Structure 1
Amino acid sequence: MAELKLMKWDWTKHDLNSLKESLAAVLLEEWGGPRSPLALKYINETIIPDLVNCFCNNADLLTNSTFAEIIQWKLKNQFANPSAVVVDLAQDLLIPAQKILNRPQIMDPKEPWRRIFRLWIGDESLPNIAERTGYPLDYLDLLVLRLKKVKAFTANTRASLLECQQNSELREFGFAQLSFFYQFHTAVAGEPLYKEHLKLEQIIWDLGMPLQVQDLVTLLEIIHTHEGQLDEDSLISAMGEAAGIWGYGMGASGGDQRGNLFSCVIDGLISLHYIQKNKAGNLTLSEKSAQTIAGYLLPKLGEQLKRAISIHDVDLSKRILLNQNQEVLIRLIDWTLRELNKEQALEVLSSIYQKISRRVDIYLLKVFANFPLAFDLLMKCLGDNDSLIRARSCEALGRIGNKGAVFSLIQLLRDPVVGVREMAAQALGELGAIVAAKELLRVAEDYGESINVRERARGAVRKIESRSGEGFST
């Protein structure tokens, strides 16, 4: 990767050695720590490296009150220091770190929590978050538990922040933490693209580049628009043509620096597996980046699709869908269910069935269950060579409720694939197909059959009995 680091810091060996020595002096000399060989080994090989890692990962939080509390938590719960000493010991450990890792400081007490939940919203596991931040795992567990309690309380009562504060259990969190959880949960639940915004913020943080979220959105949108068509140089050229993007007041003489920035960002995104190169060396979105950027693209893509439909241009609608990254396409498919009437949606979506990939086809079959007019298409799919296509078609036909599928579904109770037989039995139960009861009972009593298929068959018979009022069980 090109050498350009503007937000994060690479510590020199001298910085790290000085920090280790200073922490050892605090623990062993100022505080008179234990001197047995075993204790010294634990201090030098576990406690000090852990603290160094934590301080370096949070070098802009060394005077932050919440970070100080996290260090106190580490000392007490992770390293078993007495409660009476952790406040003063944490302060004494932070002082040399502040001098050696001399960086601008963020004083907002909510900042450490933002960093934790920005990672959490990006589906990082708590052990991974603990490793990346240096924060104790049990502290992270506690924070997630508290967020869930705030979520549960507000879900049941639609409570305001003031009402949350009046709850005795929630009040124990302290106002700063409670207000953070309340605002975070409210934003996640109600603000469009809030999760995606946090994920992109985290990517920018990991890159260590002076970017805004919209800058990254623009870059990813250009890659998506020209998926698999632009190499790195072409993308840099395309970004340079985007008016005002990433200029940062560099002026004409800043072209080289801006190009270097682009190159660093592209290399960084590749190293983070956020974009990737195909066999031709051209850039494509990864599954993760496509999922994140999809929400930003939907308004524009949706308008394009609506315009194509308004002029009855099915071919244009089809091209719009076929040109999307699969992750973006799946979100656009969901959009059609919300925004188009059923006839329009079915016409557009059926035009791309079997035109992209097996994964998209299977997703479309699930969607077709919302359209009674998709009956004929789904019936044809019952004879597909792909067993998962057959199974999903059975499931969709059961949801549609058209009994014209009953005899074909009965035949599929003898399909060679277990998953197909399961879905066929389930669909027959959903349809309340009395004529299928005898065959379903045969399946349910066949001890050579899969347990799951037998259970589905029994459940189907019970549904048929419940709907018809007749008894079929022997």
Structure 2
Amino acid sequence: MYPGVTMQDVKDMDIKIQARPANRAEDLARRLEKLFTEEWGGPKSALAVAYLRDTVIPDLIFCLNKNWPFLDNPTFRDILAAKLNTQFAYPPSFAEGLAGDILACAKEVLGACPAAQNHPWQPWEIIMRLFTIGCRLPEIMQKTGYPEVYLDLFRKQYLKLEEVVLSLGSPTEEQLFSHRELAGAGIHLIRFMADFRNRFKVFKNYLERLQAEQMIMDMDLALEPDCLIKLFEGLFEVEKQVNLHRFADILKGSKTAWLAGENYYTRTVAYGLLAGWPKKQIIALLECLLAGNLLVQDAGHDSVLSLSEQAARLIAPLVVPALADEVLSVMRSKARDKISRSTAVLTGKNPEIAVHLIRELVRRGDPAVVLCFKALPRRVAKKVFLQIVWACGRLGGKDAVNLLSKTILDRDSMVRVCTCQAMAQMADPSFYFSLINALDDPVAMVREQAALALGRLKMPSALKHMERILSNPSEEPQVLRAARETKALLLKEKEFKEND
């Protein structure tokens, strides 16, 4: 996580971070209370003192421990001052001086962090990473202890910089510094944001690297992001084939851990990745990943490993393009076994990877892959099957019509819902009677989607069925809304045809 710090160093540091609040919380709380009440002439009333003790000081202790490496960081000092100003209503000039004294007090009680981060960009790096990987404001507040107002302003400033860059094309730093829309951001923040934005052009798969960095930070691992990604890629290739100890041997580079049929790619990704680590340490790392729900261990007697949904989602952009190439290459070939070979790619992969693979195949727009999908129903995980139904609606064609005509009768109501949505996407007239029958489905959501899909078919003969739904006083509100919407569309269509 930090340059030059070993896994044991990070574990020891984590113990200190966790132990200090427990062992010295009272000391730090007393020091902070004295700082507020005596040195800064803080609250005097009983109610205000109670608020200080029960809310302000615990929140500050949480923030200080979360940001132990930043106690000497100038940006964190500004953030702490903003916290005192916006969260606890201290005037700006008062908050700036108080923030400095709070940090001095925290350094005396907590001591110096062995992995101190004093570069002014470091706190911004954490904020920007969390925003970029999709974390919401409350989650970022919980992870950092930073005030909501500061985080929201930070986000708006970055979005404003995005707008300015898009409007100017490729602006220079001087143009950004002098732009009136960015006047309140400051030179250092503008420079950081411009640099962060540029990394997506310079570094390949930078988003995945950011996600890996956050996983590492959340779990306090001494591991480079690229190493974690390659570890996941390596396990993906041997998923459900190895247990924890066998995979540890693979990561260490033991030749005896090779599996039959493994290719060069597998061996170059995984074997010897952690060759310099003792096996005990590798096992400890894997157990940590298991505890953090990044790896999953089969409950059966083999206890084989697989990737969790989160880990599989991280590497999906890295492995899916090659898998899509493989499926399309097989489907376009003249091989007699092309269906079984292409389905083997989908059925033999992690469900999350299979979902992303189907999306990629749809993006490439080759309807031939629907033949492969037809051979898969009920042989794959439900989430994969639902994605297949969705893909049929996007790709269309005769095979998609045949498949959807069967899935509309599936025993699973969610499959029937997704089928109605896919039929709406295709808007094929041959779905008419299937959708009319679906209006009597026992599940309201299916009836709702069937009614909406009939509107996409634009067949006025469905009007009488909408009237039937609307005349039913016991029908669910969402179904009635869908019927009214479809009725309006069909009446317009009928009027158009009559006037044509």
Pairwise same-fold verdict (TM > 0.5)? yes
Amino acid at match of 1:101: G
Partner of 1:334: 359
Q: Distance in 2 between matches of 1:173 and 1:125?
A: 22
Report the more deviating stretch, 37-46 or 288-297: 37-46
Does the aligned pair in 2 maintain the 1:4–1:261 contact within 8 Å?
no
- Partner of residue 224, structure 1: 236
1:201 and 2:216 equivalent?
no
Q: Write out aligned runs for 1:177-216 (5 A).
A: 177-184=189-196, 193-216=205-228
TM-score (norm 1): 0.85
Paired AA for residue 295 in structure 2: I
Q: CA deviation at 1:322?
A: 0.6
Q: Which residue of 2 aligns with 1:316?
A: 341
Q: 1:246 maps to which residue? A: 274
Which stretch of structure 1 is more off in the superposition, 461-470 or 397-406?
A: 461-470
In structure 1, what residue type is equivalent to 2:72? Answer: T
Does the residue aligned with 1:276 lie in a helix, a strand or coil? strand
| Other-structure match for 1:455 | 481
Cα 1:420–1:186 shift into 2, 3 Å? farther
Q: 1:441 to 1:165 in 2, by over 3 A?
A: farther
Contact 1:78–1:136 under 8 Å retained in 2:
yes
* Equivalences, count: 461
Q: How does 1:8-47 map to 2 (within 5 A)?
A: 8-11=13-16, 13=20, 19=28, 23=32, 26-27=35-36, 30-33=39-42, 42-47=51-56
C-alpha separation in 2, matches of 1:203 and 1:272: 9
Equivalents in 1 of 2:468, 2:365: separation in Å? 43
What SS is found at the alignment partner of 1:414? coil
Partner of 1:299: 321
> Contact 1:5/1:209 (CA < 8 Å) preserved in 2?
no
What residue number does 2:383 align with? 359
Residue in 1 aligned with 2:248? 236
More deviation, 44-53/285-294: 44-53
1:378 to 393, 396, 404: 404
- Quote the residue 2:10 is aligned against: 6
Structure 1 165/407 Cα, relative in aligned 2: closer, same or farther at 3 Å?
Answer: same
Distance in structure 1 (CA, Å) of the matches to 2:238 and 2:487: 53
Q: Which moved more, 1:441-450 or 1:289-298?
A: 441-450
Measure, in 1, the Cα distance between the counterparts of 2:402 and 2:430.
Answer: 10
Structure-1 separation of matches of 2:384 and 2:75? 46
CA positional deviation for 1:232: 1.7
Q: Cα 1:64–1:315, aligned 2, differ >3 Å: closer, same or farther?
A: same
Partner of 2:423: 397
Deviation at 1:347, TM superposition (A): 1.9
312, 319, 325: which is aligned to 1:290? Answer: 312
Q: 8 Å contact 2:208–2:315 — kept in the other structure? A: yes
Give the secondary-structure state (helix, strand or coil) at the position aligned to 2:70: coil
Name the counterpart of 1:438.
Answer: 464
Choose from 62, 66, 69 the match for 1:57. Answer: 66
Of residues 78, 93, 111, the one that matches 2:87 is 78
**Shift in Å, 1:428:** 1.8
Taking structure 1 as reference, are residues 417 and 94 closer, same or farther at Cα in structure 2, changes over 3 Å only?
A: closer
- Which of residues 108, 128, 132 is equivalent to 1:117? 128
1:330 CA drift (Å): 0.6
Distance 1:407 1:24, change over 3 A: closer
- Compared with structure 1, are the counterparts of its residues 408 and 46 closer, same or farther at alpha carbon in structure 2 (3 Å cutoff)? closer
Segment drifting more, 306-315 vs 135-144:
306-315
Q: Which amino acid aligns with 1:238?
A: I
Counterpart selection for 1:347 from 371, 374, 379: 371
The verdict on how the C-alpha distance between 1:359 and 1:58 changes in structure 2, with shifts beyond 3 A counting, is same
Change in Cα spacing, 1:207 to 1:386, as seen in structure 2 (3 Å) is: closer
Q: 2:285 matched to 1:273?
A: no
Matched, 1:101 2:111: yes
Task: Give deviations 1:394-425, integer Å, cap 9, x for gaps.
Answer: 32223223212223322332333322222222
> Taking structure 1 as reference, are residues 456 and 157 closer, same or farther at Cα in structure 2, changes over 3 Å only?
farther
Q: Which runs of 5+ in 1 are unaligned?
A: none
For residue 445 of structure 1, report the CA deviation from its aligned partner.
3.7
C-alpha distance in structure 2 between counterparts of 1:458 and 1:40, whole Å: 60
CA offsets 1:239-281 (integer angstroms, 9 cap, x no match): 112455234xx4xxxx53xx23322322222222222222123
1:172 positional shift: 0.7
Q: Which stretch shifts more, 14-23 or 234-243?
A: 14-23
What are the ranges of 5 or more consecutive residues in structure 2 without an aligned counterpart?
1-6, 254-269
In structure 2, what is the Cα distance between the partners aligned to 1:386 and 1:402?
23
Structure 1 vs Structure 2: percent identity of aligned residues? 27
Q: Distance in 1 between matches of 2:341 and 2:232?
A: 23
Give me the whole-angstrom Cα distance separating, in 1, the residues matched to 2:136 and 2:461. Answer: 50
SS of 2:482 mapped into structure 1: helix
1:22-81 residue CA offsets vs partner (Å, 9 max, x unmatched): 545644554454566666555555444433332332222222211110121123233333
CA–CA distance in structure 1, aligned partners of residues 105 and 72 of structure 2: 12
Q: Distance in 2 between matches of 1:157 and 1:354?
A: 52
Q: How many angstroms apart in 1 are the aligned matches of 2:497 and 2:38?
A: 84
Please tell me whether the aligned partners of residues 19 and 97 of structure 1 are also in contact (alpha carbons under 8 angstroms).
Answer: yes
Residue by residue over 1:340-359, the C-alpha shift from the partner in whole angstroms, topping out at 9 and shown as x without a partner, is: 6222x212222222211232
Closer, same or farther in 2 for the Cα pair 1:438/1:171, shift >3 Å?
A: same
SS in 1 for 2:92: coil
- Aligned partner of 1:427: which letter? A
